[in-house]
């Protein structure tokens, strides 16, 4: 990693210079940022994907469960177009993107939109949902035309921005100094709650002043859920003759970092994992490969498992090689480990006290 960073450092400097010039245009007012007239909560990161933006968006929707109507807005990565449209639960990932479709299916009462132009999309939301109480945006930090009311910046426990470098030497797509625009910083994918002393060290490592809120978030996995009417072997197995038995799972994923999920399932299951690239669109050949491996990877009862995000890209299984197989999805939740009530209060207070609702 050290040699790679050194070799690519000149290109990272050029990339960084371009970012400095772009941000200066907005900071000096040469290019205009627009603050919407309704409450907006923008979730972002400095690095490429895998920081947990969608679970954080879902956490905020759960926090605002009694505030309606709510809207969620995403670019809709991986979809076929860039225009503004509202996501329906019956959509395909090709039309809406896998993560917005996942959110719509988990939160059917929320109005979910996708659009590359965030400012234009918010105007469309206000037109279509005139009584909307707030808009929660996924991946909006780099969209400088939008001046969100509340910005939440994510970084991972495993690879925080202070240990990273700009592209192409590292995985940072924006300047570390952009952390200053966020009112809330969340370190995601924490294995446990760090001590008060370690929390203070994290604040120092990330270069945060006292005015910025710092939270630590972990992951909770939900029980397996059958896809359609297919039966599957439960994840939590029953003891057999005094010996603990485990379920047999063939897991397939197309996500940025499946390691936490692997570690979770391996605690109770005999597991084999087939990895695809992030946002992978599954072909018939992929499904045939999965079906063949499922037949042979383990004897006895077993289950084919994937994530909710991947399931959104599968579409209907009717007529596919996976039809009739015991397929289940596993969901995940982001949970705030330190001061969860304070985090929820920040979110709720931003919406409730916004001038639009006074």
Q: Do both 63 and 140 map to the same domain? A: yes
Q: Do both 321 and 254 map to the same domain? A: yes
Mean pLDDT of 95-106: 94
The CATH number assigned to the domain holding 215 equals 3.40.50
**pLDDT, position 230:** 54
Q: Do both 37 and 13 map to the same domain? A: yes
Among residues of the chain, what percentage have pLDDT more than 90?
Answer: 82
On whether residue 344 sits in a domain, the answer given is yes
**pLDDT, position 234:** 47
- pLDDT at residue 232 tops 90: no
- pLDDT at residue 34 tops 50: yes
Q: Do both 56 and 155 map to the same domain? A: yes
Give pLDDT tens digits for 280-332.
999 999 999 999 999 999 888 899 999 999 999 998 899 999 999 999 999 99
User: How far is residue 250's CA from residue 289's CA, in Å, rounded to a whole number?
Assistant: 12
Of the candidates 281, 19, 32, the one whose C-alpha atom is nearest the C-alpha of residue 142 is 19
On whether residue 154 sits in a domain, the answer given is yes
Q: Do both 140 and 59 map to the same domain? A: yes
On whether residue 182 sits in a domain, the answer given is yes
Q: Do both 162 and 273 map to the same domain? A: no
Mean pLDDT of 226-253: 62
Q: Is residue 228 very low, low, confident or very high in pLDDT (cuts 50, 70, 90)?
A: low
On whether residue 140 sits in a domain, the answer given is yes
Inter-axis angle of helices 98-106 and 53-63, nearest 10: 20
Mean pLDDT estimate for the chain: 92
Mean pLDDT of 253-262: 92
On whether residue 110 sits in a domain, the answer given is no
On whether residue 90 sits in a domain, the answer given is no
Q: Do both 44 and 160 map to the same domain? A: yes
Q: Is residue 229 very low, low, confident or very high in pLDDT (cuts 50, 70, 90)?
A: low
Length of the chain: 358
- The domain in which residue 12 lies consists of 2-67+133-219+335-357
Q: Do both 158 and 302 map to the same domain? A: no
| Cis-peptide, bond into residue 157, ω within 30° of zero | no
Q: Do both 54 and 184 map to the same domain? A: yes
Mean pLDDT of 201-213: 95
Mean pLDDT of 321-346: 96
Q: How far is CA 85 from CA 43, 82, 111, 263, in A?
A: 20, 9, 11, 37
Q: Do both 251 and 320 map to the same domain? A: yes
Coil, strand, or helix at residue 72? strand
Q: Do both 60 and 47 map to the same domain? A: yes
Pinpoint the alpha helices (H) of the chain: 2-27, 53-63, 93-96, 98-106, 118-128, 196-206, 259-266, 284-296, 308-314, 340-352
Segment among 110-119, 157-166, 236-245 with least mean pLDDT? 236-245
Give pLDDT tens digits for 41-78.
999 999 988 899 999 999 999 999 999 999 999 998 88
Other CB atoms within 10 Å distance of the CB of residue 307: 22
**pLDDT, position 245:** 44
Residue 203: burial class (beta carbons within 10 Å; 0-12, 13-18, 19+)? middle
Mean pLDDT of 196-210: 96
Residue 10: burial class (beta carbons within 10 Å; 0-12, 13-18, 19+)? exposed
On whether residue 80 sits in a domain, the answer given is no
**pLDDT, position 246:** 57
On whether residue 101 sits in a domain, the answer given is no
Beta bridge partners of 322: none
Q: Do both 232 and 181 map to the same domain? A: no
User: How far is residue 55's CA from residue 108's CA, in Å, rounded to a whole number?
Assistant: 16
**pLDDT, position 139:** 87
Domain count, the chain: 2
């Amino acid at each position: 990693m050290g040699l790679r960073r050194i070799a690519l450092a000149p290109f990272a400097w050029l990339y960084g210079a371009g970012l400095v010039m772009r941000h200066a245009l907005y900071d000096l007012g040469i290019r205009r940022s627009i603050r919407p007239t309704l409450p907006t909560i923008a979730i972002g990161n400095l690095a490429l994907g895998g920081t947990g933006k969608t679970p954080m968006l879902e956490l905020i929707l759960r926090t605002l469960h009694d505030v309606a109507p709510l809207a969620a807005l995403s670019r809709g990565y991986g979809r076929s177009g860039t225009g503004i449209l509202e996501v329906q639960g019956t959509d395909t990932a090709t039309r809406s993107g896998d993560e917005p479709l996942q959110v719509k299916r988990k939160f059917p009462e929320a109005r979910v939109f996708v659009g590359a132009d965030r400012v234009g999309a918010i105007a469309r939301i206000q037109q279509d949902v005139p009584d909307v109480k707030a808009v929660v945006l996924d991946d909006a930090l780099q969209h400088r035309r939008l001046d969100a009311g509340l910005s939440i910046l994510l970084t991972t426990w495993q690879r925080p921005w202070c240990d990273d470098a700009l592209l192409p030497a590292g995985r940072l797509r924006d300047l570390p100094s952009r952390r200053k625009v966020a009112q809330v910083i969340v370190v995601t994918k924490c294995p446990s709650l760090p001590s008060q002393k370690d929390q203070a060290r994290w604040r120092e490592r990330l270069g945060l002043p006292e005015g910025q809120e710092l939270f630590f978030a972990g992951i909770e996995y939900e029980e397996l859920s059958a896809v359609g009417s297919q039966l599957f072997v439960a994840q939590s197995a029953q003891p057999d003759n005094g010996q603990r038995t485990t379920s047999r799972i063939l897991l397939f994923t197309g996500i940025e970092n499946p390691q936490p999920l692997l570690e979770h399932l391996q605690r109770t299951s005999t597991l084999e994992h087939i990895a695809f690239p992030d946002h992978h669109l599954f072909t018939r050949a992929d499904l045939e490969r999965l079906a063949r491996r499922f037949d042979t990877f383990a004897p006895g009862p077993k289950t084919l498992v994937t994530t909710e995000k991947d399931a959104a890209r599968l579409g209907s299984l009717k007529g596919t090689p996976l039809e009739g197989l015991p397929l289940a999805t596993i969901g995940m939740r982001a949970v705030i480990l330190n001061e969860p009530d304070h985090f929820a209060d920040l979110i709720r207070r931003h919406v409730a006290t916004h001038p639009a609702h006074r």
